[in-house]
Amino acid sequence: MRIVKLTDETRADILNDLLKRSPNHYSEYESAVNEIVETVRQKKDEALFEYTRKFDHFELNRENIQVTEAEIRKAYESLDGELVHVIRRSAENIRDFHRKQLHSSWFDAKEDGSLLGMKITPIARAGVYVPGGKAAYPSSVLMNVIPAKVAGVGEIIMTTPPGPDGKVNPGTLVAAHIAGVDRIYKAGGAQAVAAMAFGTESVPRVDKITGPGNIFVALAKKAVYGYVGIDSIAGPSEILVLADGTANPKYVAADLLSQAEHDELASAILITTSAELAGKVSAQVDVFTAKLSRKEIIQKSLDRYGYILVADTMDDAVAAANEIASEHLEILTENPYEVMTKIRNAGAIFLGEYSSEPLGDYFAGPNHILPTNGTAKFFSPLNVDDFLKKTSIISYSGAALEKVHKDIELFAESEGLTAHANSIKMRFEE
């Protein structure tokens, strides 16, 4: 990996480089995606089936679009029993963590006859998109579905692309069944997102769409936002490791590569105050990469978006980490908890040498669907609140309103909204 001195100039260059990976920079695909979305909106099943035939090479129709109970049973039979057990344990950890995020409706009644409150209601139907092929990750199924179930969503549907044989990844089906998906449809790509957003004869319309996908899926979610809610427009995966001279270079190198193997656009960055550690990590990265199955993807990722930055002080390193606002942030320092208190921007923070990033991906419980491309400055991980609506409640008695009606009328009149003022004033006219 390249080793660079951390300066204001190098930090600005790296930030500019990383932002090029954002889906917002793939405008050349938008017109094609928008055409798919609009065609599915107009022609519904007809378009969905045609696009599946074109892109997934499967003859989809109303009889075979929905995954059957028999297919789910076969998926269980095809998976190793121990893996099914692990998926169940992971699901329970995720469920336990997200239950702690639940809020109740609340009401505040006062003696003057006024009552204010917040009514919390789950959305009626959620749609989860799950990639297929090599990008089929059962862990992401759990992370999308379980928060929705905990929130109390009435119905959860899932779309995932079929193979040319019409089959769906068995791990995806087992995870969906364990998590509690109500219906699964064999459809993928931008066309599946459009089907969930607008509804077809076979696929019901949903209120919100979550889940990862390629650039076409990301742009389709962007196109339908406003007709339905979405979680975010996710970019490629990324990891940033903050380390001092006490860190184990093998651990650091292994953790950097855990994200670099995702995608050629993935980013892996180490910021350290130790030049010695920087050199050892760079050498260890080469050793590990040569042995790993996805070494070609890893090498392209590191060549384009991999950096080791050497900072003068930990404060400088923290400042750079806050500006980069990485999806995953590991802190491998002598006192990781102290450093953590200075972090403002990160999707998930992993503290200490035994809290490596894959722990969060698969098992610990916190959601691994995280803000990317610097959006951790204003976005949060997927959580129960993403599947809840909050409605304000306002109730005033005549006596309570009488005390403040002139204030409201003055405020409305100052904005030139005399009908607003009259709505209050006429209640107190003789």
Catalytic residues, by residue number, are: 327-328
Q: Print the SS3 string covering 352-403.
A: CCCCCHHHHHHCCCCCCCCCCCCHHHCCCCCCHHHHEEEEEEEECCHHHHHH
CA dist., res. 234 & res. 213, Å (int):
8
CA dist., res. 72 & res. 81, Å (int):
14
Residue 358 CA to chain centroid, in angstroms? 16
Residue 186 CA to chain centroid, in angstroms? 22
Q: Which residues contact 188 (CB under 8 A, 6 or more apart)?
A: 52, 55, 56, 131, 132, 159, 160, 161, 162
CA dist., res. 147 & res. 397, Å (int):
39
CA dist., res. 47 & res. 49, Å (int):
5
Q: In the chain, what is the straight-line distance between the N-terminal and C-terminal CA atoms, in Å?
A: 81
Strand ranges, E, within 236-357: 238-243, 267-272, 306-310, 328-332, 348-351
Q: Which residues contact 232 (CB under 8 A, 6 or more apart)?
A: 371, 372, 375, 379
Tokens of 358: 């894959």
CA dist., res. 386 & res. 146, Å (int):
12
Tokens of 401: 């309103």
Q: Exposed, middle or buried, 106 (CB in 10 Å: 0-12/13-18/19+)?
A: exposed
What is the signed CA dihedral for 74, 196, 224, 231, rounded to 10 degrees?
Answer: -50
Q: Which residues contact 203 (CB under 8 A, 6 or more apart)?
A: 45, 48, 65, 157, 159, 185, 187, 192, 195, 196
